[in-house]
């Protein structure tokens, strides 16, 4: 079976680092959860019912209503290998839940991978729109338009009192999850991060790691998202996240300025040490790689490593993950194999930009 470009191309366009405030915000995402009226939710559906949901939702793509996204690709999860599904998870194009429960699961992808529509995940339909940098309002606009297209063709499960009905009670109401992926190394290094994150949670937002709920915030990457979907309008949810994220961006920039003015030599030494280790390491695990790549990213944005291209760092966020490593090197790998290949990949990429 030929490899699909979505699993062989490392970098999605939304990770290209060209969006606004990309020195702090890696990406913005809005996800909308919907279900079809009179069909059991995916976790309770039998094969015939989940297949009916899949056919109804794929029909929206078949009838041309999504042509504004470009040449979309429809992928049935049953057609993918476990490795291909893992790569799609690492690129944030599908959830781990969809990868693990792929019976009658499907995916609709835009050419630039900034729109990912998951079918038969925890809900029948999950529309995901992603943008480079701080573009949460724009991501919401895109997701809302796609939601309107599906709603014209599909009868959603909706209650006048509670709003859109979802498998998980925490999504009932608007059904939207909005998030920004932020790189906050200076707040961590100056010891301010716990105070900032505590304040964030007090205004109804959640903070998670790179891969969402249950994941660790490695590499100083924090995903900040709304927790409340019921009792607020979509616009209120988006604006609350926008305003809080804007303040966090300014706090991070202020902390970076403080590091430069008060501890420049120590900061530059740390950044150069990480660069040296990554340039020479023979083996490196994913946690250390993430931390040292975080140091280098900080160095790029502080203009302490002007010779390094930040786009390569975004690429390495994906290509150093287990699935992508195995896809690149073409072999099943144990942990030591991955650590060796990860180090080789990083050395190779840094050598091309220095």
Residues 243 and 271 in one domain: no
Residues 276 and 305 in one domain: yes
Residues 164 and 204 in one domain: yes
pLDDT at 7: 57
CA-to-CA distance for 343 and 287, rounded, in angstroms? 12
Residues 95 and 146 in one domain: yes
pLDDT in tens, the chain (354 residues): 445 556 556 567 777 778 999 999 999 999 999 999 999 999 899 999 999 999 999 999 888 888 888 889 999 999 999 999 999 999 999 999 999 876 799 999 999 999 999 999 999 999 999 999 999 999 999 999 999 999 999 999 999 999 999 998 889 999 999 999 999 999 999 999 999 999 999 998 999 876 555 446 689 999 999 988 888 899 999 999 999 999 999 999 999 999 999 999 999 999 999 999 999 999 999 999 999 999 999 999 999 998 888 888 888 988 899 999 998 887 788 999 999 999 999 999 998 765
pTM, 2 dp: 0.91
Q: Considering its fold, how many domains does the chain have in total?
A: 2
Residues 319 and 247 in one domain: no
Classify the phi-psi angles of 31: left when phi > 0, otherwise alpha if psi is within -120 to 50, otherwise beta.
Answer: beta
- Radius of gyration (Cα) for the chain, nearest Å? 21
Residues 291 and 186 in one domain: no
- Domain C-terminal end among 219, 252, 285: 252
Q: Which residues are annotated as a binding site for ATP?
A: 27-31, 92, 126, 177-181, 208-213
pLDDT at 9: 61
Q: Which two tokens stand for residue 111?
A: 């050419």
- Domain C-terminal end among 252, 285, 306: 252
Residues 274 and 245 in one domain: no
Residues 129 and 261 in one domain: no
Q: Which two tokens stand for residue 93?
A: 């194009």
pLDDT in tens, 268-314: 999 999 999 999 999 999 999 999 999 999 999 999 998 888 888 88
CA-to-CA distance for 313 and 335, rounded, in angstroms? 22
Q: Which residues are annotated as a binding site?
A: 27-31, 92, 126, 177-181, 208-213
User: What CATH number did the domain enclosing 21 receive?
Assistant: 3.30.590.10
- Domain C-terminal end among 200, 224, 252: 252
Domain that holds residue 344: 255-351
Residues 94 and 230 in one domain: yes
> In the chain, what is the straight-line distance between the N-terminal and C-terminal CA atoms, in Å?
37
pLDDT in tens, 233-273: 999 999 999 999 999 999 999 999 999 999 999 999 999 99
Residues 245 and 167 in one domain: yes
245: nearest Cα among 95, 124, 136: 136
Residues 167 and 130 in one domain: yes
Give me the helices (H) in the chain, please: 5-8, 47-62, 82-90, 96-100, 136-153, 185-189, 193-201, 234-280, 286-301, 310-319, 322-329, 335-351
Q: How many CA atoms lie within 13 A of 323 on its CB side?
A: 21
Residues 178 and 246 in one domain: yes
């Amino acid at each position: 079976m030929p490899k699909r470009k979505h699993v062989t191309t490392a970098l999605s366009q939304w990770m290209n680092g060209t969006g606004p405030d990309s020195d702090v915000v890696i990406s913005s995402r809005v996800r909308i959860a919907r279900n079809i009226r009179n069909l059991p939710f995916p976790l309770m559906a039998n094969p015939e019912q989940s297949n009916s949901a899949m056919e109804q939702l794929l029909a929206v793509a078949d009838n041309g209503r999504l042509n504004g996204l470009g040449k979309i690709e429809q992928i049935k999860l049953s057609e993918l290998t476990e490795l291909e599904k893992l790569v799609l998870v690492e690129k944030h194009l599908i959830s781990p839940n969809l990868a693990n429960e792929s019976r009658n699961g499907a995916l609709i992808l835009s050419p630039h991978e900034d729109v990912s529509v998951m079918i038969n995940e925890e809900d029948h339909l999950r529309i995901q729109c992603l943008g480079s940098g701080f573009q949460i309002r724009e991501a919401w606009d895109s997701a809302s338009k796609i939601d309107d297209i599906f709603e014209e063709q599909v009868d959603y499960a909706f209650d006048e009192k509670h709003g859109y009905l979802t498998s998980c009670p925490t999504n009932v109401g608007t059904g939207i999850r909005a998030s920004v992926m932020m790189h906050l190394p200076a707040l961590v290094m100056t010891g301010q991060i716990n105070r900032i994150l505590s304040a964030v949670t007090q205004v109804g937002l959640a903070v998670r790691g790179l891969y969402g709920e249950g994941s660790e915030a490695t590499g100083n990457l924090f995903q900040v998202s709304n927790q409340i979907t019921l009792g607020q309008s979509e616009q209120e949810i988006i604006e609350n996240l926008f305003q809080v994220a804007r303040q966090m961006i300014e706090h991070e920039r202020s902390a970076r300025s403080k590091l430069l003015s008060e501890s420049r030599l120590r900061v530059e030494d740390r950044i150069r040490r990480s660069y040296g280790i990554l340039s020479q390491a023979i083996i490196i695990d994913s946690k250390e790689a993430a931390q040292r790549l975080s140091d280098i990213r900080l160095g790029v944005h502080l203009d302490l490593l002007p010779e390094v291209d930040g786009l390569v760092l975004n690429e390495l966020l994906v290509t150093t993950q287990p699935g992508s490593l195995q896809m690149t090197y073409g072999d099943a790998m144990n942990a030591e194999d991955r650590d060796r290949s990860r180090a080789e990949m990083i050395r190779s990429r840094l050598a091309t930009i220095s």
